Structure 1
Amino acid sequence: MISRRVFTSGLTSSSSSSNPPKETIILSDQPAPPPPVPEPPPQVSGRKSWSFLKYGLISAVAGAIGCVGYLSYKCSYEEVDQKAKALRAAASYTPSEDASAVEKYRGILYSTAMSGDEQTLFLYLFFLLCLFMEVEVVCGSTLFPHGFFSCNIPVPAKALESYLDLRKKVEEHVMEFTEPTSDKLLPDLHPQEQHVFTLVLDLNETLLYTDWKRDRGWRTFKRPGVDAFLERMAKFYEIVVYSDQMNMYVDPVCERLDPNHYIRYKLSRGATKYQDGKHYRDLSKLNRDPAKILYVSAHAFESSLQPENCVPIKPYKLETDDTALLDLIPFLEYVARNSPADIRQVLQSYEREDIAKEFLERSKEYQRRMQEQRQQGRFWRR
């Protein structure tokens, strides 16, 4: 309930009747409303300009990053550098007074798009996005001033050169981990051994099998026939072990596997090529004639970059009756004794079949034909 107090003057009623009464003042406990605050003048145009500038800059940065990512994924450094020649020439272009630079770049983009060269088109888009970002920063809210493409034209060219320099450094650094440690993984052959073939052998599931169990940990098992196989092949081949394991594993295992040192060279993970998440054997880095290299592995076609040199063999899984290595000896001896001009053509004739089994069948067929010819010769002599 609001209490109200009425104050009047101290005059009598007679005097109050003669004189007009004063204005009655009513006081209330309820506070008076605050005076209205004047509203600030609207600043719509400035905010819109800044918002347009901000979102335009964000879009340009996102577009430039997208173009850079696409080019890095789609093209190699040499391809980008080759295609960037036209961009360098465009960056050095100085428009004349009666020529429109916008029309020039529009024509370049149109002709590039019509040629179907999407990599070059993305290069031009990257060029224009870099230029657009520079114009935004320099010109403030005025996004499209007079002479848009003539303003700070060297900036996108420098951005392109910076991208190429950075990519070259990154690729050189990455190659240290993805490429073999050397372009010549093996020393030169002796002049008297130029005719010798190189037999490259894998380790896991080819010469041995590594198994792990909780009660005993890791154990390595030799494949049946390994000793006889190495001893026999060392008379005809230069034997090289090429594994994707670390050298701290390969070296001691080979010492136990080959106490007689029939294996000449041991190559480990550092000599492989890392590609698509796997370590591949790059036989082209062995410093040997590709026509005289045989790669024997249980996973030959999956682990080598040169499938034409592969000799597949059955994976070893601790079978006690395994004879895969011994069965392969006749074929390898035949190759070493006959020295074909190009072993890749010989391997291609087997069409990725079981070479040991197929060679045995061909040998039997050859002996049968020879026997028939001898019998026919004896018949005609009679």
Structure 2
Amino acid sequence: MSNRKAAAAGASTKSIRRSRGLAHNAKTSSSLPNKIQEKKLLILDLDETLVHVSGSLQESCAHSFPGVNCTYYVYLRPYVHKFLERVSELFDVVIFTASDQDYADQVLDFLDPQAKLIDRRYYCNSGSYDQGTYVKDLRRLGVDLAKSVLVDNCPDNFRLQKDNGIKIQSWYFDQQDEELLVLLPLEVGCCR
């Protein structure tokens, strides 16, 4: 996919994600419970890290759900289930997305229907703005930064805690992608 097409796909996805209101679940605004902080935290971005959601249907569509103005088509990054199954054995897995709750819950409920892989979910309203740019300030989650790592395709999201961030290549539709497999040994190493 060309950079222009990727940027257009990213822009259209952002407008899709923001077309719903800013839902908020009170459970997501509090700090993580102590039982979760006993293990190291793997905080994962959602869009273009684990999945890609688009308003257009492609062959590899795994799921769809109705939106306000269109149907959302969910595409799973290759090896996402294998990755989540493995890291959920080693870490407490947290999703921290810049998306709103209504949208993200639709995707996450499909990705983890038994709620066994993902321990906690944080949405757009858990982030903040730094010099006009959206950031995922991990301090707002009340986590132990020494035991936390954020995997995100956008380095701006972890710029306030650069030592806690791992950049992953943005994913759109490439079914040959192996980024999550490449990331697994690194995550296992972080767990020790």
TM-score bracket for this pair, using the shorter chain length? 0.7 to 0.9
Query: What corresponds to 1:17 in structure 2?
Result: none
Gaps of 5+ in 1: 1-176, 339-382
Query: What corresponds to 1:332 in structure 2?
Result: 187
C-alpha distance in structure 1 between counterparts of 2:91 and 2:144, whole Å: 14
C-alpha distance in structure 1 between counterparts of 2:28 and 2:89, whole Å: 28
1:302 aligns with 2:156: yes
CA displacement, residues 19-54 of structure 1 (integer Å, 9 cap, x when unaligned): xxxxxxxxxxxxxxxxxxxxxxxxxxxxxxxxxxxx
User: Structure 1: which 4+ aligned runs deviate by more than 2 Å?
Assistant: 181-188, 212-218, 274-279
Instruction: Summarize the alignment of residues 9-88 of structure 1 with structure 2, pairs less than 5 Å apart.
Output: none
* More helix by percentage: 1
C-alpha distance in structure 1 between counterparts of 2:111 and 2:91, whole Å: 18
Residue 222 of structure 1: which of 76, 79, 83 is its match? 76
- SS of the aligned residue for 2:55 comes to strand
* More strand by percentage: 2
1:202 aligns with 2:35: no
Larger relative contact order (CA 8 Å, sep ≥ 6) = 2
C-alpha distance in structure 2 between counterparts of 1:214 and 1:227, whole Å: 21
Change (3 A) 1:333 1:323: same
- SS of the aligned residue for 2:182 comes to helix
1:250 aligns with 2:107: no
Give the TM-score normalised by structure 1: 0.38
Instruction: Summarize the alignment of residues 111-190 of structure 1 with structure 2, pairs less than 5 Å apart.
Output: 185-190=30-35
Instruction: Summarize the alignment of residues 346-361 of structure 1 with structure 2, pairs less than 5 Å apart.
Output: none
8 Å contact 2:37–2:143 — kept in the other structure?
A: no
Aligned positions, number: 155
Tell me the CA shift for residue 212 of structure 1: 2.3
8 Å contact 2:138–2:161 — kept in the other structure?
A: yes
* One-letter amino acid matched to 1:326: L
C-alpha distance in structure 1 between counterparts of 2:49 and 2:30, whole Å: 22
1:259 aligns with 2:141: no
| Structure whose CA Rg is larger | 1
Give RMSD over aligned pairs: 2.6
Tell me the CA shift for residue 312 of structure 1: 0.8
Change (3 A) 1:320 1:329: same
C-alpha distance in structure 2 between counterparts of 1:184 and 1:319, whole Å: 34
C-alpha distance in structure 2 between counterparts of 1:281 and 1:225, whole Å: 25
* One-letter amino acid matched to 1:213: S
Give the TM-score normalised by structure 2: 0.72
Change (3 A) 1:334 1:263: same
